[in-house]
Copies of this chain bind each other. A is one copy, B any other.
Amino acid sequence: MAEPRIWTAALIVIGDEILSGRTQDANLAYLAKWLNIQGIQLAEARVVADQMGAIVAAVNACRAQYDYVFTTGGIGPTHDDISVDAVAEALGVPVVLHPEAEAMLRQYYGDRITEARLRMARVPGGADLIENPVSGAPGIRIGNVFMLAGVPKITQGMLAGLDGKLEGGLPVLDRTVGAWVPESSVSDLLIAVEREKPGIQIGSYPFWREGRIGANFVIRSREQTALDDAAARLMDALSAAGHDPLDGAI
């Protein structure tokens, strides 16, 4: 049986405000889960400054390496919004005014339209629009690059419009087994289960809570049967070793 094709994506978060620590990114986790539902794996994320060279380099590295590239941020109306110019530069195309985006903005703003607001109709030449159900300015798709807004509510609205529209494969399923045990006590056991059960991976995530040490073991697979099988095997192994596993995260 041929291995199923794995579809991959990268996220490029564009924004000085994330790199300065002023703003906590909230798009990575949301996009990761959304992508997984589409059967696409978020394989890498980068956070880059609002600088032409940095954005161009990240876009070109990622679009060559992954099936899809998503960018968030920098598509607003102000001088620090340079994502459109940077993606156009990366792709070697001019920046053009998209007639449909212009019409959308003119309708959204009415007589409050300004030159600054019309900046949001600028796209890399050849791009299509991504619907924005929340505010006026659309997202942008060109080739395998998807440019989304940085404000999470708007980002999520744009993703909703892409539901089911991107080709993907099987989503990664996961099950978590928790135990009040230091992960270092059971590392051999984890290796044994992972080796014994093909097609699964186990991640170990220790924590320290209310004065007690524990760990959640997250089993991931693209096949439900393999997942359930491995979870049962891990629970047995933990029980046999005298720990008291929980079927689910602690």
Once the chains bind, are B46 and A21 in contact (CB under 8 Å)?
no
- Pairwise interchain contact A32-B28, C-beta atoms closer than 8 A: no
- Whether A18 and B24, one on each chain, are in contact in the complex, defined by CB atoms closer than 8 angstroms, is no
Chain B residues whose C-beta falls within 8 Å of the C-beta of A60 in the assembled complex:
none
Q: In the complex, A190→B19 CA distance in Å?
A: 21
Is the C-beta of A103 less than 8 angstroms from some C-beta in chain B? no
Tell me if B50 and A44 are in contact (CB < 8 A): no
Tell me if A's interface is mostly helix, strand, loop or mixed. mixed
List the B side residues contacting A45 at CB < 8 Å: 18-19, 46-47
Chain B residues positioned under 8 Å from A30 (CB to CB)? 21
Q: Select the stretch in A71-79, A90-98, A121-129, A228-236 that faces chain B.
A: A71-79
**B16, A203: Cβ atoms closer than 8 Å:** yes
Q: Does A241 contact B (CB under 8 A)?
A: no
A44 to B46, Cβ gap below 8 A?
A: yes
- Is B48 touching A184 in the complex (CB atoms < 8 A)? no
CA distance A174 to B194 in the complex (A): 49
Instruction: Check if A162 is an interface residue, CB within 8 A of chain B.
Output: no
Assess whether A42 is in contact with B23, with CB atoms less than 8 Å apart. Answer: no
Interface size on A (CB < 8 Å)?
61
A49 beta carbon closer than 8 Å to chain B: yes
Could you say which of B20, B46, B78, B190 contacts A183, with CB atoms under 8 Å apart?
B78
Q: In this assembly, does A225 line the interface, its C-beta being within 8 Å of a C-beta of chain B?
A: no
**Residues in B neighbouring A23, C-beta threshold 8 A:** 29, 205
- Find out whether the CB atom of B76 lies under 8 angstroms from the CB atom of A47: no
Assess the A204–B80 pair: CB atoms within 8 A: yes
A43 within 8 A of partner (CB): yes
Q: List 26 A-B contacts (CB under 8 A).
A: A17-B203, A17-B205, A18-B29, A19-B42, A19-B43, A20-B32, A20-B33, A20-B36, A20-B42, A21-B28, A21-B31, A21-B36, A44-B48, A45-B47, A77-B187, A78-B183, A78-B187, A78-B190, A79-B187, A79-B202, A79-B204, A80-B203, A114-B185, A116-B187, A151-B208, A153-B208
Taking beta carbons and an 8 Å cutoff, which residues of A are in contact with B? 16-25, 28-33, 36, 42-50, 54, 76-80, 114-117, 119-120, 135, 151, 153, 172, 174, 183-185, 187-188, 190-191, 194, 201-208, 218, 220
